[in-house]
């Protein structure tokens, strides 16, 4: 649900009207998730601490612990050598090409850290 909340971004080209929110959230359960959620869960289980970088304040109701969420955090932190997982909805073709997923995809992406789990 946290990554699906990223679809609510008011600045997104796939902007949702308030009346469409319930229907869209119902369809999120069937959307494919690019990347490895199991890697994320294993890393979270093994972590002593988790820093969660939230995206937009309105989405925080769907968030829990984990992660750098949102395309903006990916753009800012994807080239750092830190142990980070990104949760985001791909909103532009440039980021889609970098991640390897089409625009509109929901993604969990491990950062480029040297750390392995």
> In 3D, which of 59, 1, 53, 51 has the Cα closest to residue 25?
1
105 falls within a domain:
yes
Distance CA(68)–CA(73), nearest Å, equals 6
Domain with 14, as residue range(s), is 2-110
pLDDT at 96: 92
pLDDT at 31: 79
106 falls within a domain:
yes
DSSP 15: P
6 falls within a domain:
yes
117 falls within a domain:
no
Distance CA(10)–CA(16), nearest Å, equals 8
Helices (H), 1-117: 2-5, 21-28, 37-46, 71-77, 93-99
12 falls within a domain:
yes
Tens digit of each residue's pLDDT, the chain (117 residues): 666 666 665 445 556 677 777 787 777 778 788 788 898 889 889 988 887 776 655 555 554 447 778 888 898 888 888 778 898 889 899 999 999 999 988 898 888 765 444
Angle ∠(92,95,96) on CA atoms, nearest 5? 80
- Number of structural domains in the chain: 1
78 falls within a domain:
yes
pLDDT at 115: 46
């Amino acid at each position: 649900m946290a990554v699906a909340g990223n679809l609510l971004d008011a600045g997104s080209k796939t902007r949702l009207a308030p009346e469409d929110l319930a229907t869209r959230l119902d369809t999120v359960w069937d959307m494919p998730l690019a990347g490895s959620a199991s890697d994320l869960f294993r890393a979270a289980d093994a972590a002593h601490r988790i820093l969660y970088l939230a995206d937009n304040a309105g989405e925080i109701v769907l968030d829990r612990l984990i992660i750098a969420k949102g395309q903006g955090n990916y753009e800012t932190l994807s080239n750092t050598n830190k142990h980070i997982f990104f949760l985001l909805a791909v909103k532009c073709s440039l980021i889609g090409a970098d991640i390897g997923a089409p625009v509109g995809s929901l993604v969990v992406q491990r950062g480029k850290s040297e750390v392995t789990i």
